[in-house]
């Protein structure tokens, strides 16, 4: 078997409808690959693991769904269309569950039936273990107050298998937006019902999780050329691409009247503050980890792509609310995805551009 010296890992943040931004980046990457490798090439052919939270998990899982021939069923454009075509259905204002007052005591902002129907149409009875490549999806279990990492390749704790649609329902159950997911494992040791919410409550930017999972995963077609007996990859053996959803930006911050907020204000704003608050911190930690590598080439192994930061007080064209799926906002998110790509390709060094990184993915393959 031919071996490679690099393991290619894709990490995608959570962010609800703002997932349009990284989805646009995925489309660009796949088109660049097809320009070199031919129209049948897929982005999934050039990654070895995908790690995602919430909307990022949905995008990543769609890329790894197999068709009847064992090839990727969905293109990156299909993943983008999931939000562009169905965003208004997922976050349907006409089926809001309760008024803000009533939601203080019961129910979430949106019903999940439309989302569950879409998952059923796209995924059917597909099991997590049947995805084409290793896929790690974050969630949080309310019963045991435990962080969950649904893993398509490993079952270290006897958790068993899961339907992909159930896992995606779990990771996208953002508190106050959708009700918690109630799911069961397939063939697992634990027979009780799992009550799960969005992995964004602890890992909205899952890139550090991606690094950690990559460190303990055996990749059969990978080998360290300097140490053939090495069993697991380290940072110098990884190409880690982290895609953001335009969240956690200072320019999206709240005004100076926060000291006047009451319980209703905090109840409305806390979930998004909680999910977006750690994005830059995680990115900083992962960047430092890769910056500590000994050679300049190895330090280029990590790249973060997100909507560019703006000057203080200047807001981006899209609404930061991760449930604003109005047609106008979706169009602004699509345009912002193109801005993100342009910004990722504007570097003083060509070796640091998104294009250069996609080339590295192909060279490693």
Active site residue 221: no
DSSP structure class, residue 262: -
**φ, ψ (nearest 5 deg) of residue 110:** -125, 150
Integer Cα distance of 87 and 90 in angstroms = 5
Catalytic, out of 198, 280, 306, 319 = 198
Catalytic, out of 11, 13, 48, 54 = 54
How many CA atoms within 13 Å lie on the side-chain side of 138? 28
Q: Which of 62, 60, 48 is nearest to 22 (CA)?
A: 60
Integer Cα distance of 194 and 180 in angstroms = 10
Helices first, then strands: H and E counts in the chain = 13, 8
Integer Cα distance of 24 and 333 in angstroms = 9
Residues 158-170: b if buried by 16+ CB within 10 A, e if exposed: ebbbbbbbbbbbb
Integer Cα distance of 246 and 25 in angstroms = 12
**Tokens encoding 264:** 């209703």
Integer Cα distance of 198 and 24 in angstroms = 23
Answer for the pair 11, 195: CB distance below 8 angstroms, yes or no.
no
For 158-223, the DSSP string reads S--B-BHHHHHHHHT--TTTSPPEEE--BS-S--SPEEEEETHHHHSSTHHHHHHHHHT---TTB-
**Polymer length in residues for the chain:** 365
Answer for the pair 208, 282: CB distance below 8 angstroms, yes or no.
yes
DSSP structure class, residue 38: -
DSSP bridge partners of 138: 149
DSSP bridge partners of 198: 139
**Tokens encoding 330:** 């979706």
Active site residue 45: no
Catalytic residues: 54, 198
């Amino acid at each position: 078997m031919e071996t490679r010296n690099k393991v290619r890992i894709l990490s995608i943040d959570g962010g609800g409808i703002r997932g349009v931004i990284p989805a646009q980046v995925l489309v660009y990457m796949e088109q660049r690959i097809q320009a070199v490798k031919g129209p049948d090439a897929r982005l999934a052919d050039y990654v070895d693991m995908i790690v995602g939270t919430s909307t990022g998990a949905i995008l990543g899982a769609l890329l790894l769904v197999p068709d009847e021939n064992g090839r990727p069923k969905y293109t990156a454009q299909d993943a983008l269309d999931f939000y562009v075509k169905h965003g208004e259905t997922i976050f349907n204002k006409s089926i809001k569950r309760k008024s803000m007052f009533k939601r203080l005591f019961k129910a979430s902002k949106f019903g999940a039936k439309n989302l569950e129907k879409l998952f059923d149409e796209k995924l059917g009875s597909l099991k997590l273990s049947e995805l084409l490549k290793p896929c790690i999806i974050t969630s949080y279990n309310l019963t045991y107050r435990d962080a969950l990492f649904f893993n398509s390749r490993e079952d270290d704790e006897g958790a068993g298998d899961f339907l992909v649609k159930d896992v995606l329902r779990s990771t996208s159950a953002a508190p106050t937006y959708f009700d918690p997911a109630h799911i069961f494992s397939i063939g697992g040791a634990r027979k009780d019902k799992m009550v799960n919410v969005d992995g964004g409550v602890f890992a909205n930017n899952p890139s550090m999780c991606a690094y950690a999972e990559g460190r303990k995963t055996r990749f059969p077609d990978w080998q360290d050329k300097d140490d053939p007996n090495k069993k697991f990859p380290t940072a110098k053996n990884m190409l880690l691409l982290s895609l953001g959803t335009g969240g956690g930006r200072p320019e999206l911050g709240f005004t100076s009247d926060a000291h006047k907020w009451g319980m209703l204000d905090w109840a409305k704003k806390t979930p998004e503050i909680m999910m977006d608050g750690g994005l830059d911190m995680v990115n900083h930690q992962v960047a430092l980890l890769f910056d500590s590598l000994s050679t300049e080439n190895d330090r280029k192994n990590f790249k973060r792509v997100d909507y560019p930061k703006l000057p203080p007080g200047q807001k981006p064209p899209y609404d930061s609310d991760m449930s604003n799926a109005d047609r106008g906002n979706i169009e602004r998110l699509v345009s912002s995805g193109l801005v993100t790509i342009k910004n990722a390709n504007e570097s003083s060094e060509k070796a640091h551009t998104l294009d250069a990184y996609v080339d590295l993915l192909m060279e490693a393959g």
